[in-house]
Amino acid sequence: MPRYLGLDSSTQSISAMVIDAQTHQIIVEKSVNFGQHLPQYSSPSGFIPGGEHGEVHANPLMWLDALDLLLDGMRNECDWSQIVAICGSGQQHGSVYLNRNFESQLAALSHEKSLSEQLSSALSRRTAPIWMDASTSQQCREIAAAAGGDAEVCRISGSIAIERFTGSQIRKFAQTEPAAYSQTAFIHLVSSFVCSVLAGKNAPVDDGDGAGMNLMDLSTGTWDPSLLEATAPDLLRKLPVLAKAGSQIGPIHSYFVEKYGFSPSCQVCTFTGDNPASLVGMGASKPGNVVISLGTSDTYFASMPQPLTDPQGYGHVFGNPTGGFMSLVCFRNGSLAREALRDELGLSWNDFERETLSTTPPGNNGNVMLPFYGHEITPRHAFSEPVRVGSANFMAKLHPAEQVRALLEGQFINMLLHTRWIGVPTNRILLTGGASRNNGIAQIVADVFHAPVERLTTANSAALGAALLAAGSDGACVQSLQQAFCQTDDTPRIEPSSASDYSTAIAAFQLALNKSMS
Ligand code: XUL
C-alpha cells in the first residue's frame, strides 16, 4: 500500500495527514496544538505574547518538540514504515536563523534525545518572526527606495515590500542585531526548516513560499540580486536554493528511522507554504477555481497561468506547486467585522443568515456599506468605522436585515473589486472557514461573483495538499488524486440567482470607496 504523509506546520498547531493513493483514503489525521500540548513555551496561540511595536515571534524549538510529539503520538494509529514520501507546508513568511553548525548538528542527531535538545545551539536567533509581525514598516520603505520603488519590487517579486514578508524581517534583524546576523549561516522559512530537519540537511525553498519573501524573481524562480542587495548584506550565501514544491530531495534522516520506524528509503520532498499547499488540497490548482477562506481575516486565492501583479499593490502572487502561479489577497475586516456588526445588532448567527436571505433583496435596495471596523489592508486605509450610503432608514440603522446584507455585500464587492487584476474568469468558488457553512453568506458570494459556490469536506486542506504532492513525487497524477480526495461536503452547491444584478451596487460601492480614501 503506497502511503504518503503530508505535514502542515501552521501558526497554532502542526498537523499530519496520511493518505493511501490507491484506495483514495485518508488513513489518519492528527494535530498537536502548540498552546495546549506544549504549555512550557508560554505561547497559548502559537506565538510569544506581548511583543512590542507590532513584533510577533515564535520559538522554533516549540515546532521541533511538536514534530516529535506528533510522530510519536501517531505511532499506534499508523505504521510509519509504510510511508513512501513526505511533503509538507508551513505558515508563510516566518523565518528561522541558524549558525554554521546547523548541518553538522543535523548529521549528528541521535534518536535517544529530542530534536529541540540537539538543535537548540544551532539557532543564531532564539526566536522566529512570523507572518503576524507588523514591525518592519521602516525596513519596507528602505527596501522599496533602494530597489527602485514599490512598483519595481512588485514587478519582480509579485508583491510590494510588506511588513510580514521575510525580506523586511531579515533587514530588521541585520540592522538591530548585526553580530547575530553575521553569525547566521542559513536563513530558512518555517517550511524549509521543518523539511531540513526531516531530510537531515539544508532543504530548498519552493517558489510558492519563496515568493512570500520579497526576494525572489517570480518570472524566473531565482533569487533577485537587486532585491537581495536592497535587503541585507551577504544574503545570497545564507539563503537556501530554490526548487519546485514536491521535488524529492533525499531519504529521511536516520533519527526518524530509528525513533519512529520510518523506512530508510522514505523520501522527503521540498515543502511549500500553507496557502500554496491549500490550493492543491482544495482541488483548486487549475485556473478558474477560486478559494475564499472566511476567517479572522478573509483570504482569496486562485490559480493563475501568468505572473500578473496587482497594479494597486494590495495582492500577492506566489508560485503554484502544480505549475504556473497563484494570487493571494488578504482582507483584514473578515470575521472581525461580521462579529462586530452581529454584536452591535444583538443578533445570533442564525438571525444573521435568516435576515440576509429572506427579508432583503440582492443589491439591498441601493443601501451600501464600506464594511471596515478598523484599519484595512485591501484597500490599505486607516478606516475607523463602517461607511454607509443609502436611505434615511438605512443610515439610522432601523432594520438589522439591511445592515447585515450591506456588510456582507460590501465585504464581497470589495473582494471582487480588488481581485479583478488577476484576470482569470471565475468558474467555481470553494468557500471554506468558519462562516462558510452559512447558506446566506454563500448565496451572496455566488451572486456577487456570478459563480457557483461549493464547500469541501476537508478542514485540513494544507496537509492534504502536501500529502498529494508527496504522492505526485512518486509518480501519481496529482490532478486525478484531487478529483478523488477533494470532495464537496453535504451542504448544497449554491448557484448564482438569476435575478441578481450587482452592477449598480458595485458602482455605488466604488464611488463611496473613492470618496472615503481621497
Ligand atoms: C499569507 C499569510 C498567512 C500565513 C499563515 O500571506 O500571511 O496566510 O500563511 O497561515
pLDDT digits (tens, 9 = 90+) for 321-346: 999 999 999 999 999 899 999 999 99
> Left, alpha or beta for 116 (phi > 0: left; psi -120 to 50: alpha)?
alpha
Q: How far is the CA of 91 from the centre of ligand 1 (A)?
A: 6
Q: How far apart are CA 451 and CA 494, in angstroms?
A: 9
Q: How far is the CA of 209 from the centre of ligand 1 (A)?
A: 10
CA-proximal residue: ligand 1, atom 5 (nearest): 91
E strand spans, 34-166:
57-58, 83-90, 95-98, 128-129
- Across the range 19-32, mean pLDDT stands at 97
CA-proximal residue: ligand 1, atom 10 (nearest): 91
pLDDT at 392: 98
Q: Count the helices and strands in the chain (H runs, E runs).
A: 20, 25
> Left, alpha or beta for 317 (phi > 0: left; psi -120 to 50: alpha)?
beta
pLDDT at 501: 85
pLDDT at 87: 99
Residue-wise burial string across 422-432, b where 16 or more C-beta atoms lie within 10 A, e elsewhere: bebebebbbbb
Summary mean pLDDT of the chain: 96
Q: Is the pLDDT of residue 314 over 90?
A: yes
Residue-wise burial string across 252-265, b where 16 or more C-beta atoms lie within 10 A, e elsewhere: bbebbbebbebbee
Closest of 286, 383, 401 to residue 332, by C-alpha: 383
What confidence tens digit (pLDDT) does each residue in 351-402 have? 887 767 778 999 999 999 999 999 999 999 999 999 999 999 999 999 999 9
Q: How far is the CA of 139 from the centre of ligand 1 (A)?
A: 20
pLDDT at 397: 95
pLDDT at 459: 81
- Give the residue, out of 47, 164, 282, with the most ligand 1 atoms within 8 A of its beta carbon, to mutate for a pocket test: 164
Cβ-Cβ contacts under 8 Å for 82 (sequence gap 6 or more): 1, 3, 263
pLDDT at 311: 94
Contact in structure between 98 and 188 (CB atoms under 8 Å): yes
Residue 46 DSSP class:
S
- Across the range 223-241, mean pLDDT stands at 98
Q: CA torsion, points 246, 251, 257, 260, in degrees to nearest 10?
A: 0
Q: How far apart are CA 229 and CA 238, in angstroms?
A: 13
pLDDT at 465: 98
- Across the range 421-441, mean pLDDT stands at 92
Vertex 159 angle, CA 158 and 163, to 5°: 150
DSSP H helices, 284-399, are 335-345, 349-358, 392-395
Q: Is the pLDDT of residue 458 over 90?
A: no
- Across the range 135-140, mean pLDDT stands at 98
Contact in structure between 478 and 274 (CB atoms under 8 Å): no
AA letter at 91:
Q
- Across the range 198-214, mean pLDDT stands at 98
Stretch (H or E) spanning 255:
helix 254-260
Give me the percent of the chain exceeding a pLDDT of 90. 92
Q: Is the CA virtual torsion 57, 60, 66, 67 positive or negative?
A: positive
pLDDT at 438: 87
pLDDT at 385: 96
- Across the range 85-107, mean pLDDT stands at 98
Q: How far is the CA of 132 from the centre of ligand 1 (A)?
A: 8
- Name the one residue in this structure whose C-alpha cell is 427579508: 359
* β-pairing verdict for 453-455 and 428-433: parallel
- Name the one residue in this structure whose C-alpha cell is 519582480: 156
Minimum-distance ligand 1 atom for the alpha carbon of 316: 6
Q: How far apart are CA 57 and CA 94, in angstroms?
A: 9
Minimum-distance ligand 1 atom for the alpha carbon of 212: 6
pLDDT at 284: 96
Q: How far is the CA of 274 from the centre of ligand 1 (A)?
A: 7
Query: What phi, psi does 280 have (nearest 5°)?
Result: -70, -45
Q: How far is the CA of 112 from the centre of ligand 1 (A)?
A: 35
Q: How far is the CA of 207 from the centre of ligand 1 (A)?
A: 15
Residues with CB under 6 A from ligand 1: 10-11, 91-93, 131, 164, 212, 273-275, 328
Q: How far is the CA of 503 from the centre of ligand 1 (A)?
A: 32
Q: What is the DSSP string of 366-425?
A: G-EEE--SS-EETTEE---S-EEES-HHHHTT--HHHHHHHHHHHHHHHHHHTTGGG---
Minimum-distance ligand 1 atom for the alpha carbon of 164: 7
Residue 101 DSSP class:
T
- Across the range 63-92, mean pLDDT stands at 97
- Give the residue, out of 11, 92, 329, with the most ligand 1 atoms within 8 A of its beta carbon, to mutate for a pocket test: 92
Rg from Cα positions in the chain: 23
pLDDT at 185: 98
pLDDT category at 499 given cuts 50, 70, 90 is confident
Vertex 31 angle, CA 29 and 34, to 5°: 175
Q: How far is the CA of 293 from the centre of ligand 1 (A)?
A: 12
Stretch (H or E) spanning 69:
helix 60-73
- Give the residue, out of 326, 330, 461, with the most ligand 1 atoms within 8 A of its beta carbon, to mutate for a pocket test: 330
Q: How far apart are CA 230 and CA 473, in angstroms?
A: 36
pLDDT at 435: 83
Contact in structure between 383 and 372 (CB atoms under 8 Å): yes
Question: What cell numbers appear for 230 in the block?
Answer: 536592497
Q: Is the pLDDT of residue 432 over 80?
A: yes
AA letter at 509:
F
Contact in structure between 26 and 18 (CB atoms under 8 Å): yes
Minimum-distance ligand 1 atom for the alpha carbon of 275: 9
Residue 488 DSSP class:
B
Q: Is the pLDDT of residue 275 over 90?
A: yes
Question: What cell numbers appear for 192 in the block?
Answer: 524549509
pLDDT at 358: 78
Cβ-Cβ contacts under 8 Å for 143 (sequence gap 6 or more): 153, 161, 167, 168, 171, 214, 227, 230, 231
pLDDT at 75: 94
CA-proximal residue: ligand 1, atom 1 (nearest): 92
pLDDT at 350: 83
pLDDT at 329: 98
pLDDT at 433: 86
Give me the percent of the chain exceeding a pLDDT of 70. 100
Question: What cell numbers appear for 501 in the block?
Answer: 444584478
